Amino acid sequence: MKNLITTVFSVCATSLLLTACGSDSVTDNSPLVTPNLNDTEISSLLFMREEEELARDLYLDIYEAKGSRLTTFKTISDNAETKHADAMLSLLTKYGIDDPSTGARNTYTSTELQDLYDSLLSDAIGSDDLAALRVGALVEEEDIFDINTHKDNISTEHTDIIATYDKLLCGSRNHLRAFVKEIELISGSTYVTQVPALDTEVRAILSTPQERCGN
């Protein structure tokens, strides 16, 4: 999400959101694998742990600030992002890496992520519902970008980490579809990708149906 700070930013049917968010179970409790992780791989897990916490907290805070209108945010936060953050914690525990989480909602060890959270929340609640939904879609686009980048830096020996990242990607694709559905309903216009480097991938995602992640 490193470039989120500089990026300029009708509820989904309940059954659709449950498909999008309720099947994102990604926890892997298999025995510790070897060899140990290198510094890049460790940094990847630490970053993704707090990034998933940020999405969980941000979505819930947007929902609470907007009242009950944008239930998509709460559904995704409760049913998916919490599981994603827990999945990253499971990997940290498995590899004996200290959890960077502060344990307090809306606070992050990473000053970059803290600044990002503050900026995104301000953008989402300081404007209309459409702007808030666009923040949600942007978070998912950036999440896809980041997970793909981190996944490429993971050794193929670590199949557990790769499998977890694949499930997180599936969840992010579903969440993006859910946000875009609402954006297009409100705006009456076709969604425009917010991260230019992902334009081809985002178009492909939006042209395909919701997935059942992990099934």
Does residue 24 form part of some domain? no
Is position 28 within any domain?
Answer: no
| Average pLDDT for 21-43 | 64
Evaluate whether residue 22 is within a structural domain.
Answer: no
DSSP state letters, 132-171? HHHHHHHHHHHHHHHHHHHHHTS-TT-HHHHHHHHHHHHH
Q: What is the domain-level CATH number for residue 166?
A: 1.20.1260.10
Q: Which pLDDT belongs to residue 24?
A: 55
Per the domain annotation, does 15 fall within a domain?
Answer: no
CA-to-CA distance for 43 and 51, rounded, in angstroms? 12
**What's the pTM value of the predicted model, to 2 decimals?**
0.82
Q: What is the number of domains present in the chain?
A: 1
Domain encompassing residue 79? 36-206
Q: What is the pLDDT of residue 69?
A: 80
Q: Count other C-beta atoms under 10 Å from residue 15's C-beta.
A: 10
In a domain, 12, yes or no: no
**Rounded Cα distance, 76 and 83, in Å:** 10
In this structure, is residue 150 part of a structural domain? yes
Q: Is residue 53 part of a domain?
A: yes
- Chain segment 120-172, per-residue pLDDT in tens: 999 999 889 999 999 999 999 999 999 999 999 999 999 999 999 999 999 99
- The tens digit of pLDDT for each residue in 63-72 reads 999 877 899 9
**pLDDT at 213 exceeding the cut of 60:** yes
d(CA 94, CA 97) in angstroms, rounded, equals: 8
Q: How confident is the model at residue 81 (pLDDT cuts 50, 70, 90)?
A: confident
Question: Is residue 31 a part of any domain in this protein?
Answer: no
142/119 Cα distance (integer angstroms): 15
Query: In 3D, which of 1, 15, 9, 19 has the Cα closest to residue 174?
Result: 19
